Amino acid sequence: MWLANLTTEQRLALLGLAHNVVVSDGLLDPNEERMLAAFKREMELAPDTETDYVETAGIEAVFDTARSRRIALINLIHLSYADGALEIEEECLLRELADAFEVPAAEFALLDNWVKRLLALEEEAQALF
Q: What does the alpha-carbon distance between residue 32 and residue 39 come to, in Å, rounded to a whole number?
A: 10
> Residue 36: in which H helix or E strand, if any?
helix 30-42
The rounded mean pLDDT for the chain is 93
Q: Is the pLDDT of residue 85 over 90?
A: no
Contact between 51 and 15 under an 8 Å Cβ cutoff? The reply is yes
**Could you tell me the maximum CA-CA distance found in the chain, to the nearest angstrom?**
44
Q: Kindly list the structural domains of the chain, giving each domain's residue range(s) and its CATH number in brackets, ordered by start.
A: 3-128 (1.10.3680)
pLDDT surpassing 80 at residue 26 = no
Give the whole-number percent of the chain exceeding pLDDT 90: 79
